[in-house]
């Protein structure tokens, strides 16, 4: 079960009118069933309403509440849905504010509120007893015996493990959900009655998103609504669904009708994050109690309308403002890392091969920024353009213009004669345009750059990006090698935005004009002869596939350890308007083949800064045998 659809509900209520409340609870359940929800979380004390005051001490209300729970249990079998509903429970002469967890004609368990607020506008201890520390108890009703009762209950169905807390439990220093998550719960429900005050919404949102991030869980929050008593407070019916720090869905508060929100939770991703996070696993030793696991099984897990948003560009924020902030931060990380390395080895010069392509352009911009940090003159940036058989006028002129506009020490070394001589030396026919033909040029360029770096006492800065490393789209000991690399954890889809960010935010008008033309140029290593009209013949994406697909594959393969089937499923939904299923299959197979067979190149890459959550550095983030088989992954 990779995905599950959940709901948060706020039904219309009347204070202390149990029958009226139950009627609207069933309306919500019917709506949730039509949406294929498998979990629904209702507000705190939704059966009675939260603001009953001293009526909670009346046996009539408590008896009526229990009859409503019984009716809900009996009718629950038609929903195939885990129901978390709030109601009071009289147990051993004490009254508890509880979450009743109901499924398929049975109460699976009852979770008492651990912490009872008794400050400011709250005085719940007048009626309720705290449940903190209550574990391994049982409750008997006339229609069901030995119902688990306690704060350590976890309800499990395959990979989904549900746990619940009530309102104030979230606001304490160590919420019960923190412990329950460490015991395996990955979906937390909070049945709440949080009154509305100015700015409280923002704090509540922060609290929920942060708790879901710390617990690496989904967090479903449902609060009481505007139909509660307004004697001293107003409740807004705030509904939230969060997943690992992100708010997936939030309602418009202050609604007067039955209100539901839905979202699809990626359970696989949550479990994957926990698997990688050793600190999360190690924290389980601090849990002061053992969990009680209650198993149940959904009859049908189908989600007929899979409407979860799948980002086509997971490395690139879709929000423009956030994207610009991210680009600024990444650019500063790159430049600061390079400045540190140059400062450490006490070099005042940098050497870079500049082609007029995206990667070398970004690397050059990073060097310029680093030199500014170090108060070094751009004349100490030795930019070398090395035209070969496939160099076009467009890339050549863009390289010249960019270096001139930035005030670099621009040098040109044509590699054609040297390459022809090398073909002769090794006995290779210059008219056979195979991998040898291409790699001779790439290695000739790298040799020139290395030798000039030695001659000038400079640092050779590499330009290759994360996407190229993933696919092995580089020449071993050619463009694969440098003395320090600045782009190794930046995917191709993000390189474009970084260059555009500099063009729009940091560059002069003339530099910006050149950068924008570079952005419009097809990606190519230009190692094959150009066309008769002088155009680029060798376009990378025609050979290895679209980078937007490969970056998508890479993200999900590395970030969550996703299988080919899962990546394909996600890609089909993300790119349904862009690529056919057959095209996705073709390029996914290509990705898996190249990723496995090209690991030997990644095992020998130079140092370079990590800027995001995914890196293929063999020294830290990705340790993989160079001879691992891909048969289990294709």
Per-residue pLDDT of 31-87, as tens digits, reads 999 999 999 999 999 999 999 999 999 999 999 999 999 999 999 999 999 999 999
Q: What is the 3-state secondary structure (H, E, C) of 146-204?
A: EEEECCCEEEEECCEEEEEEEHHHHHCCCCHHHHHHHCCCCEEEEEECCECCCCHHHHH
Residues 6+ apart with CB under 8 A from 327: 497, 498, 501
Q: Given the DSSP bridges, would you call strands 106-112 and 94-103 parallel, antiparallel or unpaired?
A: antiparallel
Asked whether residue 527 carries a pLDDT value surpassing 70, the answer given is no
535 class by beta-carbon count within 10 Å (0-12 exposed, 13-18 middle, 19+ buried) = exposed
Cβ-contact 208, 243 below 8 angstroms: no
Q: Does 474 show up as a binding residue in the annotation?
A: yes
How much is the pLDDT for 544? Answer: 84
Q: Between residues 533 and 508, which one has the greater pLDDT?
A: 508
- In this structure, whether the domain defined by 320-602 belongs to CATH 3.40.50.620 is answered with yes
How confident is residue 206, by pLDDT bands cut at 50, 70 and 90?
A: very high
Kindly list the distances between the CA atom of residue 416 and the CA atoms of 287, 391, 400, 560, in Å, as whole numbers in the listed order: 68, 10, 18, 45
- Give the pLDDT mean for 517-529: 73
Taking only the tens place, the pLDDT of each residue in 490-508 is: 999 999 999 999 999 999 9
Q: Does 48 show up as a binding residue in the annotation?
A: no
Q: Does 587 show up as a binding residue in the annotation?
A: no
Catalytic residue list contains 113: yes
Question: Can you list the alpha helix ranges (DSSP code H) found in 17-134?
Answer: 18-34, 59-75
Q: Does 493 show up as a binding residue in the annotation?
A: no
Q: What percent of the chain has pLDDT over 70?
A: 97
Asked whether residue 489 carries a pLDDT value surpassing 90, the answer given is yes
Cβ-contact 188, 212 below 8 angstroms: yes
Q: Does 109 show up as a binding residue in the annotation?
A: no
Question: Nearest 5 degrees, angle CA 285-CA 164-CA 240?
Answer: 115
How confident is residue 275, by pLDDT bands cut at 50, 70 and 90?
A: very high
Determine which of 36-45, 425-434, 540-549 has the lowest per-residue pLDDT on average: 540-549
What is the DSSP code string of 296-356?
---S----SS------S-TTS-SSHHHHHHHHHHHHHHHHHHHHHHHHHHT--EEEEE--S
Taking only the tens place, the pLDDT of each residue in 150-160 is: 999 999 999 99
How confident is residue 528, by pLDDT bands cut at 50, 70 and 90?
A: low
Q: How many CA atoms lie within 13 A of 157 on its CB side?
A: 20
Catalytic residue list contains 44: yes
d(CA 290, CA 136): 10
How much is the pLDDT for 120? Answer: 86
Neighbours of 471 (CB within 10 A): 25
- Give the pLDDT mean for 451-463: 97
d(CA 258, CA 554): 42
Neighbours of 159 (CB within 10 A): 13
Query: Would 3-295 and 320-602 be classified into the same CATH topology?
Result: no
- In this structure, whether the domain defined by 3-295 belongs to CATH 1.10.10.10 is answered with no
Sheet holding 409-412: strands in order across?
A: 409-412, 381-385, 349-353, 458-462, 484-485
Q: Does 475 show up as a binding residue in the annotation?
A: yes
Q: Does 358 show up as a binding residue in the annotation?
A: yes
Catalytic residue among 38, 64, 113, 269: 113
Taking only the tens place, the pLDDT of each residue in 137-186 is: 999 999 999 999 999 999 999 999 999 999 999 999 999 999 999 999 99
Map tokens 């160099």 to a residue: 391
Kindly list the distances between the CA atom of residue 552 and the CA atoms of 273, 359, 471, in Å, as whole numbers in the listed order: 18, 19, 13
Catalytic residue list contains 167: yes
SS3 233: coil
- Give the pLDDT mean for 433-445: 93
What would the two tokens of residue 369 be? 């920024």
Catalytic residue among 98, 160, 167, 403: 167
Q: Does 171 show up as a binding residue in the annotation?
A: no
Each domain of the chain, given as residue ranges in start order, spans 3-295, 320-602
Q: Does 354 show up as a binding residue in the annotation?
A: yes
SS3 21: helix
Does the pTM surpass 0.85? The reply is yes
Catalytic residue among 5, 38, 44, 526: 44
How much is the pLDDT for 526? Answer: 57
Question: Can you list the alpha helix ranges (DSSP code H) found in 464-611?
Answer: 466-471, 492-505, 509-519, 540-544, 547-559, 564-574, 581-597, 599-602
Asked whether residue 419 carries a pLDDT value surpassing 80, the answer given is yes
SS3 48: coil
| DSSP 8-state assignment for residue 223 | E
Average pLDDT, the chain: 94
Kindly list the distances between the CA atom of residue 192 and the CA atoms of 168, 201, 242, 364, in Å, as whole numbers in the listed order: 8, 13, 15, 54
């Amino acid at each position: 079960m990779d995905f599950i659809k959940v709901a948060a509900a706020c039904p219309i209520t009347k204070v202390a009118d149990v029958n009226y409340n139950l009627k609207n609870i069933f309306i919500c359940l019917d709506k949730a069933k039509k949406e294929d929800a498998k979990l629904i979380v209702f507000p705190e004390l939704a059966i009675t309403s939260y603001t009953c005051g001293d009526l909670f001490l009346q046996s009539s209300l408590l008896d009526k509440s229990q009859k409503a729970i019984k009716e809900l249990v009996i009718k629950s079998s038609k929903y195939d849905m885990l129901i978390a509903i709030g109601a009071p429970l009289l147990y051993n002469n004490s009254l508890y504010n509880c979450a009743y967890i109901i499924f398929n004609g049975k109460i699976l368990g009852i979770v008492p509120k651990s912490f009872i607020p008794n400050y400011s506008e709250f005085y719940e201890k007048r009626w309720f007893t705290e449940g903190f520390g209550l574990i391994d108890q049982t409750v008997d009703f006339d229609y069901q015996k030995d119902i688990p009762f306690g704060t350590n209950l976890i309800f499990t169905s395959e990979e989904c493990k549900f746990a619940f807390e009530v309102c104030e439990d979230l606001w304490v220093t160590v919420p019960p959900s923190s412990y329950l998550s460490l015991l395996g719960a990955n979906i937390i429900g909070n049945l709440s009655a949080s009154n509305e005050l100015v700015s409280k919404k923002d704090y509540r949102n922060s609290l929920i998103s942060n708790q879901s991030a710390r617990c690496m869980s989904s967090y479903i929050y449902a609060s009481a609504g505007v139909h509660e008593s307004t004697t001293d407070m107003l409740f807004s019916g705030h509904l939230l669904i969060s997943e690992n720090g992100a708010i997936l869905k939030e309602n418009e508060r202050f609604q007067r009708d039955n209100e539901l929100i839905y979202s699809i939770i990626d359970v696989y991703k949550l479990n994957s994050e926990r698997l990688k996070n050793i600190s999360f696993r190690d924290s389980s030793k601090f849990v002061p109690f053992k969990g009680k696991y209650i198993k149940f099984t959904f009859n049908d897990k189908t989600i007929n309308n899979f409407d979860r948003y799948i980002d086509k560009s997971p490395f690139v924020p879709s929000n423009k403002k956030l994207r610009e902030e991210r680009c600024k931060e990444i650019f500063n990380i790159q430049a600061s890392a390079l400045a540190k390395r140059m400062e450490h080895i006490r070099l005042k010069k940098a050497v870079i091969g500049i082609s007029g392509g995206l990667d070398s352009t970004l690397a050059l911009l990073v060097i310029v920024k680093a030199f500014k940090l170090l108060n070094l003159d751009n004349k100490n940036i030795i930019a070398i353009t090395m035209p070969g058989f496939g160099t076009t006028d467009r890339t050549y002129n863009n390289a010249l213009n960019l270096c001139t506009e930035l005030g670099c020490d621009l040098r040109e070394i044509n590699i054609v004669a040297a390459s022809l001589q090398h073909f002769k030396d090794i006995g290779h026919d210059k008219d056979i345009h195979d991998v040898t033909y291409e790699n001779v040029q790439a290695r000739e360029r790298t040799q020139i750059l290395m030798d000039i770096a030695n001659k000038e006492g400079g640092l050779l800065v590499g330009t290759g990006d994360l996407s190229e490393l993933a696919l092995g789209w580089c020449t071993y000991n050619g463009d694969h090698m440098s003395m320090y690399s600045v782009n190794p954890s930046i995917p191709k889809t993000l390189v474009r935005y970084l260059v555009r960010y500099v063009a729009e935010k940091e560059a002069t008008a003339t530099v910006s004009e050149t950068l924008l033309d570079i952005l419009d140029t097809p990606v190519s290593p230009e190692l094959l002869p150009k066309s008769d009209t002088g155009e680029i013949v060798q376009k990378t994406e025609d050979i290895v596939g679209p980078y937007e697909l490969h970056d998508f594959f890479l993200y999900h393969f590395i970030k969550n350890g996703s299988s080919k089937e899962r990546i394909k499923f996600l890609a089909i939904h993300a790119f349904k308007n862009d690529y056919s299923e057959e095209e996705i299959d073709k390029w996914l197979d290509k990705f898996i083949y190249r990723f496995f067979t090209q690991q030997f190149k990644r095992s020998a890459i130079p140092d370079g800064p990590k800027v995001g959550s995914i890196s293929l550095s063999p020294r830290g983030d990705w340790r993989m045998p160079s001879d691992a088989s891909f048969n289990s992954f294709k």
